[in-house]
Amino acid sequence: MQTSFKSIRLSEKDHHFREFSVWPVFAEFNSEEWMANFLPEEWDVAERLLANFAYFNERMTDSLLEASVNNFFTTIGQDSGNADILYNDLLPKTAFVICEGEKPNPTDSGHIFARKLRDRLGVPETQIFRPGDALSKMEIFHRFVFVDDFTGSGNQFIETWNGNHIFNGTSYSFNDFAQRADRSFAYCCCIAAKAAETAILKNAPTVRLFPAHQLEDRHNVTHPESSVWAGFDAEAARRTIQIASARAGYAAEDHSEDDWRGFHALGLALAFNHGIPDACLPIFFSQRNGWKPLIERS
């Protein structure tokens, strides 16, 4: 591969990011093998993708979660008419709920975030629940805060919100309690796509969202107005990604998990230390057809 000035700068970024633990070690994040997937005429696009890939290490993820939860407590303190109300005054009547879809998995990020709530934010384990357990505490807590790392389509939260759980012989969902004036619901997450906010507001209008960071269309690598392609031919870059994605085993264009643009065509370029969302471009994590992933999915 002929070395360009851009390649040298990218290599320097790679070195310094690893040195300061912004990017993980090569065993977990192999930019060299990933770049080798691409044809020479695709290198410029691949380098631009790598240069704009956002990786959130554990410290960053913890800080985002803390910012989201603090924003929630600050806001409800102001809503109560007392902006100086203490965090500890509000916490005892707040239940935290880990999000899980229709098929809960032990590796779901919600379980990781349950530990973060306990260890980073000092939330007692007796106030951290799975959805079914949280519903059984509806008469004890005033506020229910759902937590997660990322929401792209909003589907997982909506499944959690509408999921039915049986206790005392009766089936309930959080939606059944949505209109109770003496109970409030919030969703705290590190990063949320605009599409998720729209879907959640439509399906669960009583839930207030407190993302630490919100993604717009310009964060979608395949969007015509993506900020990634400043100075580039965005449409040509899009075609290059589509062609490379087909080699990586992702050729669908149906918003499914096989869509070359990522789940729901969100086209993201980001990962957390505990995993990469399925809303990201599959060429970052694919292992199909011998493709070498930039970062493996957990």
Separation between Cα atoms, residue 215 and residue 195, nearest integer Å: 9
Q: What pLDDT score was predicted for residue 103?
A: 57
pTM of the model: 0.84
* Contact yes or no for 90/125 (Cβ under 8 A): no
Q: What pLDDT score was predicted for residue 264?
A: 93
Q: What pLDDT score was predicted for residue 296?
A: 86
Residues 6+ apart with CB under 8 A from 33: 292
Mean pLDDT by 10 residues, the chain (298 residues): 41 42 49 94 95 90 93 82 66 91 55 88 94 92 94 92 87 92 94 93 96 92 92 95 98 96 95 91 97 88
Q: Which amino acid is at 230?
A: A
Separation between Cα atoms, residue 56 and residue 24, nearest integer Å: 10
Q: What pLDDT score was predicted for residue 76?
A: 84
Chain centre to alpha carbon of residue 77: 27
Q: At what angle do helices 43-51 and 5-19 cross, to 10 degrees?
A: 30
Q: What pLDDT score was predicted for residue 111?
A: 72
Q: What pLDDT score was predicted for residue 112?
A: 85
**Per-residue CA distances from 74 to 63, 84, 118, 148 (Å):** 16, 9, 19, 19
* Contact yes or no for 117/123 (Cβ under 8 A): yes
Q: What pLDDT score was predicted for residue 84?
A: 56
Q: What pLDDT score was predicted for residue 29?
A: 73
Separation between Cα atoms, residue 223 and residue 235, nearest integer Å: 9
Residue 269 Rama label (left phi>0; alpha psi -120 to 50; beta)? beta
Separation between Cα atoms, residue 227 and residue 239, nearest integer Å: 17
Q: What pLDDT score was predicted for residue 274?
A: 86
Residues 6+ apart with CB under 8 A from 63: none
